[in-house]
Amino acid sequence: MPRDYYEVLGVEKGADAGAIKKAYRKAAMQYHPDRNPDDPSAEAKFKEVSEAYSVLSDDEKRAIYDQYGHDGLKGRGYDPNFTDLSDIFSVFGDLFGGFGGFGGGRGGGARGPRPGPDLEYPLRLEFMEAALGVEKTLDIPKHVHCSTCSGSGLKPGATRHTCATCGGHGQVIQAQGFLRIRTTCPACRGQGESVDAADRCTSCSGSGRERHNEQITVKIPAGSYSGLQIRHPGRGEVGDPGAPNGDLYVTLDVQPHEVFKRDGADTYVTVPVPFPVMALGGEIHVPTVHGEESLQVKRGTESGHVVTLRGKGVDRLRTRGTRGDHHVRLVVDVPQKLTDDQEELLRKLAGTLEVGVREKNFWQRLFG
C-alpha cells in the first residue's frame, strides 16, 4: 500500500506550499540517484518523494487526495508514473543547476525571444572623483545585432523552418529512468525553429550578432564608493530580435588618497600643527574634500586631538542634500632642524616647565 504523501515528505497535513516545496527540495537532494550511485534503494525513494510532491504541489490533486486518498486519485485517471513535472523542473534547477536538461518553464510551447544578458563593466576612479562626482565616457565592448542581417541570422530571402526534432514546440519528452520529462529541445534550443546551414548569414555565421564598441556616458554621483553598481537599463548585450537588451552595470573601484581617508560619508585627515599654536591657540587652515576650511585651535590642545567639522564630508547617496562630517586629527609638528636661537629658546622654555611632574602624573595614570 502506498505511503501517505505527507508522511513521505515529512510535513503536516495543513502545510502550506512553501513548506511542501522546501521539504521536497531536501528529500530530492538526499535521494537523487546521481548522488547515491551505490544505493539501489535511492531511485525508489526518489520516485516516491517526486510522486508525493507532484500531488501535494497541485491544488486540485491535493484536494482530491485529502478527501479520498490514493484511490480517489486513481479513480480520476491520475497516473503517478507520468505527470506534468514543470514545478519539479524548477526545483531541480535550483538544486542541481539544471542537470539532465531540466528547464523550459511551464507548458509545452516554444519559448519566446530571449532577452540579452546583463553586462558588468569595472570602472576605476580616483578618490576625489568618487567624492565629488564625475562624468565618464566609456567604450563598452558588447554584442549588437548583425548589421548585415539585422539580427535574423539569415541570408536575404531565407526563412526559418519548424524544428523537425520537436515539431515547433521547443521541448521534447525524454525518458530518464522511471520518469518521463519535458526538456528543452537540443536541436533548436527551445526556439521551435531551425535554419539550414546554407541559409545562414555569412557575416555572423547565423548568430545574428557582431562585436561592437559602444560609447556610453556615465554620471558618477558625488559620494560614490567602491563596490557601488550603477545600472543602465537596456545598455547590456543585445537580445533576440523582438526581445529587450540586457542591462549594463558599472561597478566602481575607488582608489585610496594620499591625504584623506573615508568611512561611509565621513572623511578623515591628519594635520600637523606648530607647537606654539597647540600651546597658545590660534587659527589654522585645514584641507577638506571641498577645499580649505579655517579652524580655531584651542589653547593647550594635546597632540592627537580630533576636531569634527559638521557637514564637511561627502554627500550621502541615500539622503539627498546631506553630507557626512570631516574629522581633523591635530598632531604636533616637530621641527627637524632648528637655528641656534630657536634651540636656545626651547632650552629656556624646557627649563621652566615641570617636565618631571608631568611624567610622574602620566605613569600614575597609566599604572595607578
How does 48-60 read in b/e, with b if 16+ C-beta sit within 10 Å? bbbbbbbbbbbee
Residues in the chain: 368
Least confident residue range of 64-73, 251-260, 293-302, 311-320: 64-73
Residue with cell 545598455: 235
Radius of gyration of the chain from its Cα atoms, rounded to whole angstroms: 36
Mean pLDDT of 175-181: 63
On average, the pLDDT of the chain sits at 83
Smallest Cα–Cα separation from 102: which of 172, 44, 32? 172
Task: Enter the DSSP assignment of 199.
Answer: G
- Structure confidence by residue, pLDDT tens digits, 132-160: 999 999 999 999 999 999 888 889 988 88
Topology adopted by domain 5-101: Helix Hairpins (1.10.287)
- Structure confidence by residue, pLDDT tens digits, 286-345: 999 999 999 999 999 999 999 999 999 999 988 888 999 999 999 999 888 888 888 888
The Cα–Cα gap between 152 and 284 comes to 69
The Cα–Cα gap between 164 and 57 comes to 34
Least confident residue range of 174-178, 240-244, 349-353: 174-178
Smallest Cα–Cα separation from 42: which of 34, 50, 53, 33? 33
* pTM assigned to the model: 0.59
Task: Enter the DSSP assignment of 159.
Answer: -
| DSSP letter string, 98-148 | SGGG----SSSSPP-PPPPPPEEEEEEE-HHHHHH-EEEEEEEEEEEE-TT
Smallest Cα–Cα separation from 70: which of 80, 81, 84? 80
Architecture of domain 112-154+209-256: Sandwich (2.60)
- What backbone torsions phi and psi does residue 68 show, to the nearest 5 degrees? -120, -5
Start-to-end CA span in the chain (Å): 82
- What backbone torsions phi and psi does residue 3 show, to the nearest 5 degrees? -75, 155
Task: Enter the DSSP assignment of 115.
Answer: P
Residue with cell 564608493: 225
CATH 2.60.260.20, domain 261-367, yes or no: yes
Which positions ≥6 away from 225 have C-beta within 8 Å? 130, 252, 254, 262, 264
Note the helical H segments in the chain: 5-9, 17-31, 42-56, 59-75, 86-96, 127-132, 275-280, 340-352, 355-367
- What backbone torsions phi and psi does residue 18 show, to the nearest 5 degrees? -65, -40
Smallest Cα–Cα separation from 47: which of 30, 71, 29, 31? 31
Would the CATH topology of 112-154+209-256 be identical to that of 261-367?
yes
Sorted by where each begins, the domain ranges of the chain are: 5-101, 112-154+209-256, 261-367
